[in-house]
Structure 1
Amino acid sequence: MHLLQRTMLYNPVSKFPMHETVVACILVSCKAVDTPKRVREIISTAHKLKSNQPGFVPLTPSQVDEIKMSVISLERQILETVGFDFRIRIPHQYIVKLCKTLGVSDIMVGKISWVVATDSFMTDAPMKYPAHTIALSCIILSAKLKELKSIFPIDSDKLLSPRRVVNQCLTDILDFYINYLQTSQLRALSSSPEFNLSLLSVPTFMNIRMAISRELSKIRAPEPDPATFNGLQIRDPKESDIGTVRYVLNWELEHVKGELIS
């Protein structure tokens, strides 16, 4: 999903057929984690999932070959887009560590956090916030859903996640649940007796969202000090007479706000 988001961020959607692009992203992801899969296998599985209905007709060998050529071409474009950089950290690997650090006593909070972290890839959060911040946001939301109050208040600064950034990440995830709860993984698993999420409803997420919005309105972003700024400037006059433009993610904006030049 992260590869798909990065690909669509830098390329026009009209030139990338979604079905083949998803297959190509899965193919690249499998290679990146050393679990390579055959292209034909991924294509056939994707077609079966897409056409899982009465009267399903499998692809012919010629159709598979045609899609395969398209997928291989898209694979090259995806690799060029991401610059062959596969240093992707996902929030799941931080959830267990943070649960232990925070002293989470309810194991279900960790399990729900895992599902929420998966749902976070349906938002722009992985493109805007570091993985450990997303993981902390998922744990906070899960604790609120399970009414676990023992871990609060949380000193997020000690976990290298400013409270304002955590709240912004939470709003992105909450907006997804408010608008698309029925299609989320959390809703699909909530019917299980193991999860027992009695508070899982849109009004619940809206109430949490409003509380976070009120808190965000009281927190001002720190103003950067140009005298002590040591980062890379958005426009560097040393590179050319016009300046070099550098795109930044939202969570970096506070560090370079003083460098913005209209």
Structure 2
Amino acid sequence: YGCDLIQESGILLRLPQAVMATAQVLFHRFYCKKSFARFSAKRVAASCVWLAGKLEESPRRSKHIIFVFHRMECRRESLPIEFLDVFSTKYTELRHDLIRTERHLLKEMGFICHVEHPHKFISNYLATLEAPELTQEAWNLANDSLR
């Protein structure tokens, strides 16, 4: 569920695939140590996207992360999509929650957030074989393994 949120938000935010992959790895690392009952998957997913954007040098403003995740939540729960005013109490709470959750992520991982993706190896090695179908299958497998 969380990785689907990350993937969908990454598309809406026009993030590179590397950012989404990094966010999914961070999400899995966090929940290897923490409970889903204690930390909201939606909030952790949003913080993972925000942090991954910074790590992969494709940052997005916190405001945009909050807007996208708020809109996705309204759509998924069949609620009317409401405009989120940046001066509202709800926006302020969501922003503080995003920052707080990012701190939890960093603390839980001991500030070690480096992620090595198989994607660059796939494209380098399989380019020499000149087998586009095999390259696409390997790429799809690498993406699906993150979910």
CA distance in 2, matches of 1:100, 1:21: 36
Secondary structure of the residue that 1:51 maps to in structure 2?
helix
For structure 2, the residue ranges without an aligned partner over 5 or more in a row are 1-23
Describe how 1:74-153 pairs up with structure 2 within 5 A. Answer: 74-101=101-128, 103=129, 105-122=130-147
Aligned partner letter, 2:40: P
Is 1:62 equivalent to 2:89 in the alignment? yes
Describe how 1:220-239 pairs up with structure 2 within 5 A. Answer: none
CA distance in 2, matches of 1:45, 1:84: 26
CA pair 17-54 structure 1, distance change in 2 beyond 3 A: closer
Is 1:25 equivalent to 2:45 in the alignment? no
CA pair 54-19 structure 1, distance change in 2 beyond 3 A: closer
CA distance in 2, matches of 1:49, 1:13: 20
For structure 1, the residue ranges without an aligned partner over 5 or more in a row are 123-262
Q: Residue 6 of structure 1 corresponds to which residue in structure 2?
A: 29
Is 1:49 equivalent to 2:76 in the alignment? no
Number of matched pairs: 120
Deviation at 1:109, TM superposition (A): 2.2
Could you tell me whether the CA contact under 8 Å between 2:43 and 2:98 is conserved in 1? yes
Describe how 1:178-193 pairs up with structure 2 within 5 A. Answer: none
Aligned partner letter, 2:108: T
CA distance in 1, matches of 2:40, 2:112: 23
Deviation at 1:48, TM superposition (A): 1.5
CA distance in 1, matches of 2:79, 2:133: 38
CA pair 109-37 structure 1, distance change in 2 beyond 3 A: same
- For residues 14-56 of structure 1, the C-alpha deviation after alignment (integer angstroms, 9 at most, x for no partner) is 1111111111111111111122211111010112223235732
Deviation at 1:96, TM superposition (A): 1.3
Aligned partner letter, 1:65: T
Secondary structure of the residue that 1:14 maps to in structure 2?
coil
RMSD between aligned residues = 1.8
Secondary structure of the residue that 1:13 maps to in structure 2?
coil
TM-score w.r.t. the length of structure 1 is 0.43
Q: Highest Rg: 1 or 2?
A: 1
CA pair 50-115 structure 1, distance change in 2 beyond 3 A: farther
Secondary structure of the residue that 1:84 maps to in structure 2?
coil
Larger RCO, structure (CA 8 Å, separation 6 or more) = 2
Aligned partner letter, 1:121: L
Aligned partner letter, 2:131: D
Seq. identity, % = 22
Secondary structure of the residue that 1:97 maps to in structure 2?
helix
TM-score w.r.t. the length of structure 2 is 0.73
- For residues 214-257 of structure 1, the C-alpha deviation after alignment (integer angstroms, 9 at most, x for no partner) is xxxxxxxxxxxxxxxxxxxxxxxxxxxxxxxxxxxxxxxxxxxx
